[in-house]
Amino acid sequence: MTQLAGHNPDILTCLANLSADEVFTPPKLASAMLDLLPPELFRQPDTTFLDPVCKSGVFLREIARRLNDGLRDQMPDTQARIDHILTKQVFGLAITELTGHLARRSVYCSKKADGKFSIATAFTRPDGNIRLPKAEHDWDDAGRCTMCGASQGEYDREDALETYAYPFIHGVDPAKEFKVKFDVIVGNPPYQLSDGGFGRSASPIYQHFIGQAKKLDPRYLLMVIPSRWFAGGKGLDDFRAEMLGDRRIRKLVDFESASDVFPGVDVAGGICYFLWDRDSPGNCEVTNIRAEERTTAIRVLNESATFIRHGAAAAIVKKIQAKGEPNMSELVSSAKPFGLRTFARPKSKGDLILRWHGGEGPFPRAEVTSGQEWIDKWKVITSKVSYDHAGMPDRNGMRKVFSILDLAPPKTICTETYLVVGCYDKKQHAQHMLDYLKTRFVRFLVAQVAFSQDIFKTKFQLVPSLDTSRAWTDADLAERYSLTPDEVAFIESKIRAWE
């Protein structure tokens, strides 16, 4: 009974996370998410709930506690009420054998649902309604799982080891497993898996869990996921478009810093959770949270191709885009502007100067494999790595965005440590571009879509491409785009002056 009634302190607040990709949900967060649901759901004996990605069981435990309170008058017998809730209303799929044991211990007070210490007395199987059905990866000829994109080299393991073939996205239908139609699906899915790419490459997978949950057609869907989908990127462009166009997403709560939600966990770009309401489409209530600062606005999610997390920033972007000017993404080089990897180094002699992260030195023109048309021009370069850790603001909520901005004279090239941001015949034009990039205005616009450590050409998609025959200052830009004093102050509150 104590388990359903709740107590403090809560042992689930003390669990160490499995990894930065499989993060235990703090009870406080689980409660805040469930608060988005209509309260009457917890007063109905036929409402069914599914957590398809059980780890600690915190969602199911909190749901059971609320149902225990909400059904008390209808079902006054305590044991009968608990048995009904745990066998007829609360269901889960574990993601590993370990988390299955944790979840059952959390919800049933016993790792065996039918054991003598279980608070439920009606189960006839040890895993109760928190199960781990057998699932396997489906490897294609390229060594990737067709369902989740995982690397065969990483996860094709013997049966005694975890393969991370999560049942919910690997062919297991929970509606058939439990013979139940679910009203509410809630969870905190795994975030990514190794895809076998260069270095420690990993691909996001949380979008697959959301897609699968929608296929079950619940009345409500609640999930907490990384906010990086706002800007799309690796494997997320289609998902972003689908999410932004889905008017059934009625509430979105966005945390700029993941540590505000998951203490000690570093998730680039922050964390968000959302409420999807099948039967009530409309505009979305968006709440942005940074430390103690909280803002809320009713918004149309797809008002821009990239979701702008701040309502005030979205209004500024809308003003800028109303002019219909081309953006700067086409001026910016792709990665490896001269075809040279990070580990390329100067040679003993050469007619060019190679700039790398440790300095510069001679390099032969014949070994440059791309970008030859830029070699003999003035170039503006920036570091591919952002100044801000994982795209996060500093303790004052401000960002610098670019780590390095500099001029590269004719016959100077660079490794992939840098991006080229425009090439010019005249030094003065290059200098004007350099000064333009240093404005708070430009860095603010890049920051709206830069949710990770790396800066690519797509991060310049909101920056207007302006005439570089003249200089531009923040004051000039505020006048050009009719920014109000409050909008200028908002930009200045988010972006540091260039030092």
- Whole-number pLDDT of residue 158: 77
Q: Does pLDDT of 417 surpass 50? A: yes
The tens digit of pLDDT for each residue in 86-134 reads 999 999 999 999 999 999 999 999 989 999 999 999 999 999 999 999 9
Q: Does pLDDT of 160 surpass 90? A: no
- Average the pLDDT over each of 192-196, 255-259, 356-360 and give the range with the smallest value: 192-196
Q: Which residue has the higher pLDDT, 93 or 197?
A: 93
- Whole-number pLDDT of residue 293: 85
- Residue 5: pLDDT band by 50, 70, 90 thresholds? very low
Q: Which residue has the higher pLDDT, 142 or 475?
A: 475
Q: Domains of the chain: which residue ranges?
A: 2-319, 328-494
- Average the pLDDT over each of 154-158, 404-408, 437-441 and give the range with the smallest value: 154-158
What is the mean pLDDT of the segment spanning 76-82? Answer: 96
In terms of CATH, what superfamily is 2-319? Vaccinia Virus protein VP39 (3.40.50.150)
What is the mean pLDDT of the segment spanning 67-81? Answer: 96
Q: Does pLDDT of 199 surpass 60? A: no
Q: Does pLDDT of 13 surpass 80? A: no
CA contacts within 13 A on the Cβ side of 141: 0
Report the distance separating Cα 434 and Cα 431, nearest Å: 5
Q: Does pLDDT of 241 surpass 50? A: yes
Q: Which residue has the higher pLDDT, 184 or 397?
A: 184
- Whole-number pLDDT of residue 264: 79
Q: What are phi and psi of 114, to 5 degrees?
A: -100, 15
